[in-house]
A and B are shown apart, each in its own frame.
Chain A
């Protein structure tokens, strides 16, 4: 009918005006109260720092398929910050840690990082998790002058002259691969080796390190998998099968814990029992035990874990005598009480501790330059749980560059150290440092 057609086609101007006004009001309400001109006008050096507080932030996956395990790290770091706030603060300032959930989606990371920097005015991006996610924002942070402290990723990407205020923390995956590779070459020389690695820079960088030490003639299978829910939705049976068919006696898993468990499961199904060598990323015993505890009627799943060789750059979590671990466990229990004690929470606490020490070293006159300076120049003698001294310098922005080789026993209940700590860099040789790991100050954690 004509009237209906006209009705639909001719909105009165007033309605449009009302809608437009509503949109303006909506936008104005949600816009931050800060100065309307660009944030660039503010002095960036002390953004996020007041006389009583320091605001820092991070983007991590708290929900979604990438969240299991990784969602524990930021709250654990925050537990250490809360402990610090209650025990002396940082030169009179409390730490406020804004943890934003990016669901491991780089687009969301980009948005949330801008929110943290432009709206919340964080002093530094502390402990952002993930390689593809952080790669999306590294230039933005660099341009805005925001230091990125301790990116939670082992990518060979964080120590670069083009990123003067970005720092890695955990050993690059290639470093780890070299240490594991050297162990394999030393103890399983001549045997057939197979790789099962994640099909991204985590797996690829790890394999680079392995190939640096293991002669390529020994490698009989190079399988990969894609770390999405779709990629793992049919298990890893096909890849494990291929390695079994190739006759690999040693299988290196550069896998996240869920994929490690799937691989072990698939191997158990076909009765394949190679020597497993698993990257520290995917070998956390409590996580693996949780995933495998119900498998197979009559066969305790955790027994699949005994004998797995892995590596560590922090004290093995089962070492109840280590002074750092004793302190960390107390802090975790008090300030993040629901969280389990496992590799993820140990990582978070150690990272938090490192951040606090650097903030303290930067002094009362806290600026971004002072913080960067503290990391670059005051880290090598910093006592901490790391098995080798931190290697930060002006030109090297990787932190912990050393691992020891360990082996799981008793279904993962104990972790035995197999070799002394070895240090390496991405392209350098492997050396055995002579320094001994430091001891925590007395009363640490209480």
Chain B
């Protein structure tokens, strides 16, 4: 009985406070984590963070607003090149370059969002796919500005004395992730978030209530593209440059996969998606490597595992990992509660 109070601990009810609490505690946890991990793992944490930022925007667009986008990789490219060009030609601090990446991404989101706002379902998917394929080719065409196929070089952020460059990078990325998650969390709870969901669920009803469908769609696109732009800028800092081959169709598809695998529409799910995107290929490669096959066979086997994982997770956990975990913890908590307080009915909505 004495442990029962744990189950009553709650986060604050007010959205901003709740998000800040989560952000600060989560951020502190991750900060501590980076100090015990090795350099390479810190680098991977940075990669997870980059994906998390991109996935957060995409999950808002796809989950809350119901628009399916296969082109967020292109928005990442826009952000990466924006930040990269600024850093290459001027001496601004990284924060300014990242802000520019957000801005450029958001502008691109508006530009694409306006024609996209009329499209639904597979037609929107088709247009965004064409975007993912077509936009990076602009880099090759205007190679004098963008560096063409050789790409731009982006210097990694210089750490203060005594700090590993990879760890410093992880901190910068994690800070951005935390900020983005707080902002998006608030947005989802605000009237804009309600407008997104209203338009997703029933356009006609939403417009009858006075919500401008087109404007909502464009806003969602712009926010999602702004996040993708920021992710692109961070991506450029992480890998040390921007290159059209890095912003291929696979990237856009991976982003969508990450959103769905994590749990569409869920900001917690964004973490799962990001972790999967970074770790499953690596895990698959090491498993395939233990079989001691020829290199080509081994690489293909790793990809086979990756594809199978995607399919299996989707079949086993239709709500994504976040949905699956929620179900499991609900079951678990139910059982524990039944054990601790067998006589009390569960009246309050205490478990998820």
- The reply to whether A and B meet directly (CB within 8 Å) is yes
A interface list, Cβ under 8 A from B:
2-8, 10-16, 18-20, 23-24, 26-28, 30-32, 34-36, 38-40, 62-63, 67, 71, 74-75, 78, 99-101, 104-107, 110-111, 114-115, 118-119, 131-133, 135-137, 139-140, 155, 199-201, 226, 228, 230, 338
Q: Select which of B33, B239, B348 is within 8 A of A27 by beta carbon.
A: B33
Name the A residues within 8 Å of B149 (CB-CB): 131-132, 199-201
- Please state if A36 and B235 are interface contacts (CB–CB under 8 Å): no
Q: Say whether B309 faces chain A, with CB atoms less than 8 Å apart.
A: no
Name the B residues within 8 Å of A67 (CB-CB): 296
Closest to A13 in B: B9
Instruction: Using A110-B239, A136-B246, A200-B148 as known contacts, list a sample of 13 further A-B pairs with CB atoms less than 8 Å apart, ordered by residue number in A.
Output: A7-B352, A23-B29, A31-B38, A35-B38, A78-B295, A106-B241, A111-B44, A114-B43, A119-B40, A132-B243, A136-B240, A139-B153, A140-B240
Name the A residues within 8 Å of B22 (CB-CB): 16
Name the B residues within 8 Å of A135 (CB-CB): 150-151, 153, 241, 243
Name the B residues within 8 Å of A7 (CB-CB): 349, 351-352
Indicate the member of B11, B38, B268, B271 with the most A CB atoms within 10 Å: B38
Least Cβ–Cβ distance between B254 and chain A, in angstroms:
11
Q: Select which of B47, B166, B350 is within 8 A of A12 by beta carbon.
A: B350
- Please state if A101 and B246 are interface contacts (CB–CB under 8 Å): no
Of B87-95, B120-128, B299-307, the one contacting chain A is B299-307
- Please state if A31 and B351 are interface contacts (CB–CB under 8 Å): no
A105-B250 in contact given A3-B349, A10-B10, A99-B295 (Cβ < 8 Å): yes
Closest to B10 in A: A10
Binding site secondary structure of chain A: helix
Q: Count CB-based A-B contacts (< 8 Å).
A: 178
Number of interface residues of B (CB under 8 A): 68
Complex Cα spacing A135 to B150, Å: 7
A27-B40 in contact given A12-B9, A14-B6 (Cβ < 8 Å): no
Closest to B3 in A: A14
Closest to B238 in A: A110
Name the B residues within 8 Å of A105 (CB-CB): 245-246, 248, 250
Q: Select which of A10, A19, A75 is within 8 A of B296 by beta carbon.
A: A75
- Please state if B26 and A20 are interface contacts (CB–CB under 8 Å): yes
Per-residue interface assignment for chain B, residues 25 to 61, with 1 indicating a CB less than 8 Å from any chain A CB and 0 otherwise: 1100100010011111101110100000000000000
Complex Cα spacing A12 to B302, Å: 37
A115-B40 in contact given A12-B333, A20-B29, A106-B239 (Cβ < 8 Å): yes
